[in-house]
Amino acid sequence: MTDHGMDNGLTNYGDKDFARFLRRSFARSMGLSRAMLAKPIVGIAMTPSGFNNCHRYMPDLVEAVSRGVLAAGALPRPFPTVSLGEVFLNPTSMMYRNLMAMDTEEMISAQPMDAVVLIGGCDKTVPAQLMGAASANLPAIQLVTGPMMTGRHKGQRLGACTDCRGFWAKYRAGSIDKDEINTVEGRLSVTAGTCAVMGTASTMACIAETLGMSLPGTAAIPAVHADRLVAAEETGKAAVRLIGTKISPRDIITQKSVENAFRVLQAVGGSTNAVVHLAAISGRLGIKIPFSRFNELSDETPVLVDLKPVGEGYMEDFHAAGGMGALLRELKPLLHLDTIDVEGRTLGERLEEPLDWVNPAVIRPFNDPVSRDGGLVALTGNLAPDGAIFKRAAATPALFESEGRAVVFTGLEDLSNRIDDPDLDVRPDDVLVLQNAGPHAAGMPEAGYLPIPKKLAKAGVKDMVRISDARMSGTAFGSIVLHIAPEAAVGGPLAAVRNGDRIRLSITKKQINLLVDDTEIRRRLADHRPPPAPARGYKSLYRRTVLQAPEGCDFDFLTQGADR
């Protein structure tokens, strides 16, 4: 009989009976009775941190999950892992996503538990937890912390962080002053929770529910809503049921459920970051969705959710409008309905249940979409042989087919030093190019949202074509080509771009091309050398083993097929 509960994975002293005796003795020191020690165990991976505003209510969620676990007859055991607060990490939270994934996987595998609840919310936290859970393959269920509620400024609703960028652009352009931007600073993020728009955190919450890794109807409940705690309690109960069914992440995360997740990503006009995260999660299980298939899904799947940064609403509106249940029912003809979730139900069975109410102004009918084309598109071409991503739902259609002169920034410091230089040689129809901001060079920060040069912003320019090997926040907007692969630092063609070169973008053809002869590109790259690697520690490991964006920026030794 397989060991379970407190007898799972006994510490190896060469004497199992002694290991069992010693573990129980130490467990008794925590005030646990023999009766409680005999129960199955649900681990609770918790991620509180004074550097993570999104997780401020973590203690309340842990308590509610524990209550559900106890009510269902098991023993809850919370344990901490790395916590990633998006705006509090340097150089970027993306660099530490894999560290958190490793921490999560190892702590699930090393400690005695029969199932695990993963509590997270902030951008890289949910993908890290799903990556770790997929590799550990213990019965697991995701609980997200939920989005913020909106604030107000002079009668206008505000929510982090699309409105952060909108007001900052006005400040840079000189249309609002220092006093007003300081006032707005205190009105953008007014409750606990993740960003109030369909940024990366909310996109990943929707994806976790679509994959089947979280309970139906829980993705969009606001962080401060009473139902968020009810969802936590129900998640604890569901985790205990998982012990009996033995449904594991590998039963839930499949080729079909990943395709469903990509469809939902398109329909919500979601974050470009989700493309990288889904590639990393599915890569742990050997699942790959090629960019050709990604574009098929995009062309077939309309944008149905009218939320910022693509539309006008906020996550609290999405929840009140019917949430994921309403959206999935609109997408039903396009979905694989035989996928299963943590409750063991197929998606088809879930969608047969009646819905309470749907607000069609927020979650549009399939035949009356926000946009008939999906929110994201993958590009190729001689500038991105392995692919790039463009968020067409948040871009300016007039720039979809354009050609311009390259204005090149060789790195983040160069961008910071020169973007607002009044002598910068730049015109509105130019293409801003940022090099050396990919995973190897810089950990792939959210620097792809290059600011409009101040002198153009003051002249009223609101958008330009911008390209880079970096990422951008899911809350951002603009005509921006991201995740160019291979990145400049490893000798990708992006490294060959020079000031004055012509670059052509075609969303119709799904192409991004450098209008320079191939022979000249090869000549420019002949002497390319990667930047020096850090000498020690995690950053050294990251540089040596991180993969490119199409492979999810995971570590090469953590994907399926890597030696273990």
Query: How would DSSP label each residue in 277-293?
Result: HHHHHHHTTT----HHH
For the beta carbon of residue 425, count every other beta carbon within 10 angstroms: 10
Structure tokens given for 368: 């009356």
- Calculate ∠ Cα 347-194-268, nearest 5°: 45
Q: What is the pLDDT of residue 1?
A: 44
User: By CB neighbour count within 10 A (0-12 exposed, 13-18 middle, 19+ buried), where does 506 fall?
Assistant: middle
Per-residue pLDDT tens digits for 116-127: 999 999 999 999
- Positions of the chain with pLDDT lower than 50, given as ranges: 1, 563-564
For the beta carbon of residue 561, count every other beta carbon within 10 angstroms: 8
Q: What is the pLDDT of residue 564?
A: 43
Phi, psi dihedrals of residue 133, rounded to the nearest 5°: -65, -40
Q: Which of 31, 305, 249, 266 is nearest to 129 (CA)?
A: 249
Write down the pTM of the prediction: 0.96
User: By CB neighbour count within 10 A (0-12 exposed, 13-18 middle, 19+ buried), where does 187 fall?
Assistant: middle
- The packing angle between helices 125-136 and 273-283, to 10°, is 10
Are 148 and 173 spatial neighbours (Cβ–Cβ below 8 Å)? no
Q: Which residues contact 161 (CB under 8 A, 6 or more apart)?
A: 188, 189, 195, 197, 199, 473, 475
Sheet holding 387-390, edge to edge: 377-379, 387-390, 480-485, 465-468, 431-434, 401-409, 502-506, 511-514
Say if strands 387-390 and 480-485 run parallel, antiparallel, or are unpaired: antiparallel
Q: What is the DSSP string of 198-243?
A: SSHHHHHHHHHHHHTSS-TT-SS--TTSHHHHHHHHHHHHHHHHHH
Could you say which DSSP state residue 318 is in?
H
> What is the Cβ-side half-sphere exposure of residue 458, based on CA atoms within 13 angstroms?
8
User: Using CA atoms, how far apart are residues 119 and 48, in angstroms rounded to an integer?
Assistant: 9
In sequence order, what are the beta bridge partners of 46? 80
Instruction: Using DSSP, state whether 116 is helix, strand or coil.
Output: strand
Q: Which residue's structure tokens are 């029912």? A: 329
Structure tokens given for 141: 């269920």
Say if strands 465-468 and 431-434 run parallel, antiparallel, or are unpaired: parallel
Q: What is the pLDDT of residue 452?
A: 96
All domains in the chain, ordered by first residue = 39-149+191-351 (no CATH), 157-185 (no CATH), 377-530 (3.50.30.80)
Q: Which residues contact 290 (CB under 8 A, 6 or more apart)?
A: none
User: Using CA atoms, how far apart are residues 306 and 318, in angstroms rounded to an integer?
Assistant: 8
Q: Which of 134, 104, 109, 106 is nearest to 119 (CA)?
A: 104
Tell me the helices (H) and strands (E) count for the chain, helix number first: 21, 14
> What is the Cβ-side half-sphere exposure of residue 214, based on CA atoms within 13 angstroms?
32
Give exposure, 32-62, as e/b (b: 16+ Cβ within 10 Å).
beeebbebbbbbbbbbbbeebbbbbbbebbb
Query: Which amino acid belongs to residue 524?
Result: R
Are 4 and 114 spatial neighbours (Cβ–Cβ below 8 Å)? yes
Structure tokens given for 513: 């091309």
Max CA distance (Å), the chain: 77
For the beta carbon of residue 11, count every other beta carbon within 10 angstroms: 12
Query: Which amino acid belongs to residue 71?
Result: A
Q: What is the pLDDT of residue 561?
A: 67
User: Using CA atoms, how far apart are residues 463 and 140, in angstroms rounded to an integer?
Assistant: 43
Q: What is the pLDDT of residue 134?
A: 98
Query: Which amino acid belongs to residue 116?
Result: V
Q: Which residue's structure tokens are 């994806």? A: 207
Are 376 and 393 spatial neighbours (Cβ–Cβ below 8 Å)? yes
Per-residue pLDDT tens digits for 525-535: 999 988 888 88
Instruction: Using DSSP, state whether 487 is helix, strand or coil.
Output: coil
User: Using CA atoms, how far apart are residues 299 and 507, in angstroms rounded to an integer?
Assistant: 12
Say if strands 151-153 and 401-409 run parallel, antiparallel, or are unpaired: unpaired
User: Using CA atoms, how far apart are residues 306 and 288, in angstroms rounded to an integer?
Assistant: 29
- Nearest 10 degrees: Cα torsion 99, 101, 103, 104: 160
